[in-house]
């Protein structure tokens, strides 16, 4: 016992290092499992408000791009107005309000922090639990996908970006409905890899990839990007497809958090599939 104490005292520097290194790594590993809520992150108190100040500053630098984006979005929304549609078969189909209910509710938010250079990138938005934001809700720019909510504090939430090794999303080819999975390979911030589309599907460069709507995070048919390269590895049954993202992550500012009001219903029903009989 005495010898052990002398040994530890003699090498205290090494043991000190060992203890702190183990604490660091266990913190890292335990928070890597990312449905655990983390309490030290950029959505917490002081750092959240600092990030907020920075975002206000950055907003001025990006005003031009933001204006363009908003104009584009306005144009898209105007196109969807009832007034701008031409009714082909007048009198045959009658739409009343009771025919449809709102499934997706959009909550506008601003990006106040956005990492790009890491392997697991996150965003921080200025909406939190006081605005009703919950974990796992999807985030879009209005036209294209951004990520999903990871943690929520009263005024802020953090978002797992598409540019994150832990982000996987089920998508489909717009023209044929063949579906596969996208994930980021950690290289360029404008590209993701699409796997799982079998070789008999007619994929070409320039094809549009959209969301499939199976995850209960995003509605169907939200733009993901365009196919830029189609490869086939010898012996593989699947295409290896590179997709150029429609979202410009380096100038992201205005986003929408999506509340799928049928989410609980879908998840509860699907959970029954996994229950033992």
38 contributes a contact to other proteins by CB under 8 A? yes
Binding mask 87-126 for other proteins (x = CB under 8 A): ----------------------------xxxxxx-x----
Q: Is 47 in the site for other proteins (CB under 8 A)?
A: yes
DSSP three-state, residue 228: strand
Tell me the C-alpha distance between 103 and 100, whole Å: 9
Distances in Å between the alpha carbon of 199 and those of 72, 193, 253? 36, 15, 38
Which C-beta is closer to other proteins: that of 68 or that of 187? 187
When the beta carbons of 8 and 188 are compared against other proteins, the nearer one is 188
Residue whose CB is less far from other proteins, 21 or 264: 21
Residues 194-213 binding other proteins (CB under 8 A) are: none
Q: Which of 253, 120, 257 is nearest to 183 (CA)?
A: 120
Q: Which of 1, 4, 9, 40 binds other proteins (CB under 8 A)?
A: 40
C-beta of 13 vs 95, nearer to other proteins: 13
275/175 Cα distance (integer angstroms): 35
12: contact with other proteins by CB under 8 A? yes
Query: What's the rounded Cα separation, in Å, for the pair 274 and 98?
Result: 34
Kindly tell me which residue out of 2, 3, 4, 13 binds other proteins, with binding defined by CB under 8 A. 13
Nearest 10 degrees: CA dihedral of 42, 47, 49, 54? -90
DSSP string, 73-136: HHHHHHHHSGGG---SSTTTS---GGG----EEEEEEEEEEE--SSSEEEEEES--GGGT--TT
Which of 126, 141, 153, 158: binder of other proteins (CB under 8 A)? 158
State the residues that interact with other proteins by CB under 8 A.
12-14, 16-17, 20-21, 23-29, 31-32, 38, 40-42, 44, 47, 50, 54, 58, 115-120, 122, 158, 186-189, 250
């Amino acid at each position: 016992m005495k010898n052990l104490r002398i040994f530890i005292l003699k090498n205290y520097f090494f043991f000190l290092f060992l203890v702190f290194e183990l604490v660091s790594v266990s913190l890292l590993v335990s928070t890597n499992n990312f449905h655990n809520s983390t309490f030290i992150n950029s959505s917490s108190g002081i750092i959240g408000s600092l990030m907020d100040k920075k975002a206000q500053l950055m907003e001025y630098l990006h005003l031009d791009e933001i204006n363009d984006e908003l104009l584009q979005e306005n144009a898209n929304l105007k196109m969807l107005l009832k007034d701008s549609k031409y009714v082909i078969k007048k009198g045959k189909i009658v739409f009343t309000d009771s025919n449809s209910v709102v499934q997706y509710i959009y909550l506008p938010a601003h990006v106040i922090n956005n990492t790009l250079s890491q392997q697991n990138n996150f965003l921080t938005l200025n909406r939190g639990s006081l605005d009703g934001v919950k974990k796992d809700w999807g985030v879009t720019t209005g036209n294209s996908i951004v990520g999903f909510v990871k943690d929520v504090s009263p005024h802020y939430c953090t978002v797992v970006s598409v540019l994150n090794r832990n982000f996987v999303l089920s998508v489909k080819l717009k023209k044929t409905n063949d579906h596969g999975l996208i994930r980021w390979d950690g290289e360029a911030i404008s590209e993701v890899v699409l796997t799982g589309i079998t070789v008999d599907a007619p994929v070409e460069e320039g094809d549009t990839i959209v969301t499939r709507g199976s995850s209960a995070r995003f509605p169907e048919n939200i733009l993901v990007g365009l196919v830029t390269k189609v490869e086939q590895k010898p012996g593989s049954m699947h295409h290896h497809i590179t997709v150029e993202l429609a979202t410009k992550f380096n100038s992201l500012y205005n986003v929408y958090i999506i509340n799928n009001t049928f989410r609980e219903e879908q998840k509860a029903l699907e959970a029954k599939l996994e229950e033992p009989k």
